[in-house]
Amino acid sequence: MSNLLPGRIIRAEIIDRNGYKKERPAVIVSPVPTDDDSTFIVFALTTRFEKPHPPNEVFLEADPERTRGTWVKKDCIVACWWANEITRKDVIETAGMIEAPQILIIRHFFKQANFEIYADGGSEPDASFPPADSAM
- Tens-digit pLDDT profile for residues 69-96: 888 899 999 999 888 999 999 999 999 9
Give how many domains the chain has, as a whole number: 1
**Whole-structure pTM value:** 0.78
pLDDT per position as a tens digit, 4-41: 999 999 999 998 778 888 999 999 999 899 999 999 99
Rounded to an integer, the average pLDDT of 100-120 is 71
Assess if residue 1 is contained within a domain: no
**pLDDT score at 19:** 80
> Is 16 domain-assigned?
yes
Tell me the CATH number at 63.
2.30.30.110
At CA 10, angle to CA 124 and CA 13, rounded to 5?
A: 60
Domain housing 40:
8-124
Is a pLDDT exceeding 80 seen at residue 105? Answer: yes
* Contact present, 56 and 81 (Cβ < 8 Å): yes
Residue 68 lies in a domain: yes
